[in-house]
Structure 1
Amino acid sequence: MPQSYIKRILDARIYDVAIETPLDSARLMSTRLNNQVLLKREDLQPVFSFKIRGAYNKLRQLTEEQLKQGVIAASAGNHAQGLALSAAKMGVKATIVMPRTTPAIKVDAVKARGARVVLHGDTFDEASRHAQKLVEEKGLTYIHPYDDPDVIAGQGTVALEILRQYPAHIDAIFVPVGGGGLCAGIAAYVKYVRPQTKVFAVEPEDAACLKAALDKKRRVVLPQVGIFADGVAVAQIGKETYRVLKETVDGVITANTDEICAAIKDIFEDTRAITEPAGALSLAGLKKYVAEHGVEGQTLVAIASGANTNFDRLRYISERTEIGEQREAILAVTIPEKPGSYKTFCKDLGKRNITEFNYRYADDRDARIFVGVQVAGDGNDRRVLVDELREKGYEVVDMTENEMAKLHIRHMVGGHAPQVTNERVYRFEFPERPGALMNFLNQLAGRWNISMFHYRNHGAAYGRVLVGMQVPAKEVREVNACLDELGYGYWDETDNEAYQFFLG
């Protein structure tokens, strides 16, 4: 029974390598949600993840003979680093089997902790099978990332700290779930010590193995697993973790990619720390719970479970954040292909801010634009916007929930337009302030036909715009004089090779 974990958790001695992480108040998030939101900062561990707790606690339970033989794990993520550091601390030889596809930054991080890295196979399953083969051949002890009572107990020390750090009533704790080790440890402890506190498991929509198991009342293997939140991308909940979780969690909440990205931004705004997707998952679940249940005035805890993300993912995360907060609508709109149409469309949007605009000339009749528009974060404003545009005669398709549109089409709007004559291409930087884009259009629109337009608000001090205009040769000087008068930084890119190759 889950009660059997209480002594294990209380006996866990992990602070030779792990630290007691702070339970920080998320002031901005608390104000926004009208609840007291607390973040358990496991991203501040020496390996930037809670995984070090379970790995070290497991090593401490091994016999002298097992420690002498060495330990092994298959992992491409946080468990690998946690085990490597724990083994180094205890003077134990550790081998980590990682897929050949593992990014070099993760391989180097594990090596830097003193572990031997074996690259094998192209997938985690192939690496895992090879690790089991090495167990048989060399007598190594396999350290499971989550489905082991000692690992679960080590992760359970997170709950011990939370309840000691906040002795007053906590209404709910939200915990990310991959294989379930962290959630099982937390739920077992919390439900024994403070049974009135709810514990919610949070999973990505595309990797919800616990939800699937609870729905079927048995462990199942998901046919496909999304890998955006790679730290929780698990196809089947652990056997032992499922045994504990089915008796202790109060429910499972799922979050999509956009909601996870929004939570990453929320944590950054409150802490200036950037978590990995799995690290922000629990806050995404907390926000969803508050929105769906109308919760106010409660004390809610989210586990910021890790911060091992690749820097090159931040651009994608930023791109999806506004949609995750329901603060941006992505629309495909048909407008007349004639001078002044875009300016008229902007007027018809009223005071709403345009966050993105992609357009390339197609034919003489209609222009189909890909546009992002800032909306209120209540979900209803987007519907109101679409209805208003349709009432004004626009053909509108709402693509805010369209994955292909958000992942690909927004970057592919364009192509050669041989029917466009006398096209001049200009690149602009203008101040990112209300009215700047409209001022730009007032100066240019209606005088020369805009044949191409690309703009994306990135939250910087200056907006970057690429514009194509049909300008007869004799009017080029007039256009340049007009742009000089506008006062924005600009460059004539008509001869740019990128334009000539892809768009001209």
Structure 2
Amino acid sequence: MTDFPANARAAEQAMRTVFPPTPLQRNDHLSERYGAEILLKREDLSPVRSYKLRGAFNAMRKVVGGASAPPRFVCASAGNHAQGVAFMCRHFGVKGAIFMPVTTPQQKIGKTRKFGGDAIEIHLTGDYFDDTLTAAQGYCAEVGGHFLPPFDDADVIEGQASVAVEIEMQHGGAPDRIVMPVGGGGLSAGVRSYFGTRCAFTLAEPSGGACLAAALRAGAPVRLDHVANFADGAAVARIGDRTFARLADLDPGATLTIDEDRLCTTMLEMLNIEGIVLEPAGALAIDALKDLADEIRGKTIICVASGGNFDFERLPEVKERAQRYSGVKKYFILRMPQRPGALKDFLQILGPEDDIARFEYLKKSARNFGSVLIGIETSHADNFIALERALNAAGFDHRDITDDPVLAEFLI
């Protein structure tokens, strides 16, 4: 039987020739809020701004070390795994082929190319990841390459466990609880296998991709019917077989499903207050503290900030979702009388803290009323109670479409 902790320590030691340990930092802001000792394991400060290069390094070093002629490495990824593999291809001086969906943002393609340089080639194929994966596996078989799974691989899991090895050394042992994000399960399987029962665990998943919770309910990995890709670093339809085998005995209460809109409030908070840039998946563990407040008071908690590959072009979307979750921004369909002065009457209803963020009006010559799409921002959610009362009193027919998924997606 293999000694997993010893192998993880060996992997951690080997990767010190490539990059230093990521910091374990006490966060004063979170510690004060929750009355606990909150430390962040800053995987967002790795050379590729995520923990993914750990698993790539460990898997690749074993192949390179045991092969007379290193093969071409192949992977399929639209994000952090691609960047980790690219970085390690250049480090080991081997060739790599990285398959990415055609829809991958140019920022991610550019970073992958930067990390890999001349060592890699990038293939853009397929609109959806499953198509990309099929193409990558077919190419790998054709050229006799070595395929590098993003999480469901024993060497990858062992490499991700180096996060736990560093935590143990930096903290001087195990904390009371470790909070981690879960996608395919490589990180959580590795860290939990290393620490075993020495600490408690909370594993956080995005509500649009809670594949671990589904697997725990079913007793085996199952494929989700739909996955929302906002938290793309953890948006996985099916947890891995090997990773689930290391997590199958978890109490379902050890998992938390995180609302993606609430997650946006944490991303903005960490950016504005702490100056820490986190991608959605990278903020999952910190956001989960909101659900653990009663359990963690007076204890030492380590949250794994798993990644910081955030494209700032997404910032308006993050702000929008955070405002809607917090109740300080709403969208209405308003029936506006088609008479002079109607708009002025409406504007006088707005409170001193209400601001119009969007206004679209379509005048219909054959009708007495026109439809208006209006977005309103305010400083406190309670202001909307007064606004809607004023609208009703003034006879303005209106409908709140903020939480209507069909209308919101089409109109907003």
TM-score between both structures, scaled by the size of structure 1 = 0.70
- CA–CA distance in structure 1, aligned partners of residues 391 and 172 of structure 2: 54
Q: Which of 272, 278, 281 matches 1:269?
A: 272
The alignment covers a number of residue pairs equal to 397
Aligned residue number for residue 288 of structure 2: 285
1:94-493 matches, within 5 Å, as: 94-112=96-114, 113=116, 114-167=119-172, 170-192=175-197, 194=198, 197-248=199-250, 251-290=254-293, 293=294, 296-324=297-325, 326-330=326-330, 332=332, 337=337, 338=342, 340-347=344-351, 353-354=354-355, 356=357, 358=359, 360=361, 370-374=374-378, 381=382, 397-404=399-406, 406-410=408-412
Quick check: which has more Rg, 1 or 2? 1
- CA–CA distance in structure 2, aligned partners of residues 47 and 371 of structure 1: 38
- CA–CA distance in structure 1, aligned partners of residues 239 and 101 of structure 2: 21
Q: Which has the higher contact order (CA 8 A, sep 6+)?
A: 2
| Letter aligned with residue 126 of structure 1 | D
- Post-superposition shift, 1:373? 4.5
- CA–CA distance in structure 2, aligned partners of residues 105 and 14 of structure 1: 27
Aligned to 2:233, what secondary structure does the other structure show?
helix
- Contact kept, 8 Å, 1:67 with 1:92, in 2: the verdict is no
- Post-superposition shift, 1:79? 0.9
Change (3 A) 1:69 1:340: closer
Aligned residue number for residue 430 of structure 1: none
- Contact kept, 8 Å, 2:157 with 2:189, in 1: the verdict is yes
Aligned to 1:95, what secondary structure does the other structure show?
strand
- Post-superposition shift, 1:80? 1.3
Change (3 A) 1:69 1:359: closer
Change (3 A) 1:376 1:30: farther
Structure 1 residue 76 and structure 2 residue 81: aligned? no
- Post-superposition shift, 1:105? 3.0
- CA–CA distance in structure 1, aligned partners of residues 144 and 29 of structure 2: 52
Aligned to 2:16, what secondary structure does the other structure show?
coil
Aligned residue number for residue 48 of structure 1: 49
- Contact kept, 8 Å, 2:43 with 2:49, in 1: the verdict is yes
- Contact kept, 8 Å, 2:83 with 2:112, in 1: the verdict is yes
Change (3 A) 1:105 1:334: closer
1:341-373 deviations in Å (ceiling 9; x for gaps): 3354234xxx75547363637576688663435
| Letter aligned with residue 148 of structure 1 | D
Change (3 A) 1:141 1:343: closer
- CA–CA distance in structure 2, aligned partners of residues 214 and 386 of structure 1: 45
Change (3 A) 1:352 1:55: same
- Post-superposition shift, 1:169? 7.1
- Contact kept, 8 Å, 2:37 with 2:299, in 1: the verdict is yes
- CA–CA distance in structure 1, aligned partners of residues 295 and 387 of structure 2: 26
- Contact kept, 8 Å, 1:191 with 1:248, in 2: the verdict is no
Aligned to 1:231, what secondary structure does the other structure show?
coil
- Contact kept, 8 Å, 1:18 with 1:52, in 2: the verdict is no
Identity %: 32
- Contact kept, 8 Å, 2:21 with 2:166, in 1: the verdict is yes
- Post-superposition shift, 1:181? 0.3
Aligned-residue RMSD, C-alpha? 3.2
Aligned to 1:117, what secondary structure does the other structure show?
strand
- CA–CA distance in structure 1, aligned partners of residues 142 and 369 of structure 2: 72
- Post-superposition shift, 1:375? 6.0
- Post-superposition shift, 1:298? 3.9
Change (3 A) 1:385 1:25: farther
Gaps (5+ residues) in structure 2? none
1:377-420 deviations in Å (ceiling 9; x for gaps): 8xxx589658865885776644443334554434xxxxxxxxxx
- Contact kept, 8 Å, 1:38 with 1:301, in 2: the verdict is yes
| Letter aligned with residue 222 of structure 2 | V
- Contact kept, 8 Å, 1:389 with 1:396, in 2: the verdict is no
- Post-superposition shift, 1:311? 3.0
Change (3 A) 1:99 1:332: closer
- Post-superposition shift, 1:94? 1.9
Change (3 A) 1:164 1:373: same
- CA–CA distance in structure 2, aligned partners of residues 6 and 179 of structure 1: 21
| Letter aligned with residue 108 of structure 2 | K
- CA–CA distance in structure 2, aligned partners of residues 343 and 68 of structure 1: 70
- CA–CA distance in structure 1, aligned partners of residues 348 and 384 of structure 2: 21
Change (3 A) 1:56 1:221: same
- Post-superposition shift, 1:158? 1.3
- Post-superposition shift, 1:162? 2.4
Aligned to 2:67, what secondary structure does the other structure show?
helix
- CA–CA distance in structure 2, aligned partners of residues 315 and 387 of structure 1: 26
Aligned to 1:358, what secondary structure does the other structure show?
strand
- Contact kept, 8 Å, 1:155 with 1:181, in 2: the verdict is yes
- CA–CA distance in structure 1, aligned partners of residues 162 and 155 of structure 2: 11
- CA–CA distance in structure 2, aligned partners of residues 123 and 107 of structure 1: 16
| Letter aligned with residue 134 of structure 1 | Y
- Contact kept, 8 Å, 2:349 with 2:391, in 1: the verdict is no
Aligned to 1:246, what secondary structure does the other structure show?
coil
- Post-superposition shift, 1:240? 0.6
Change (3 A) 1:73 1:334: closer
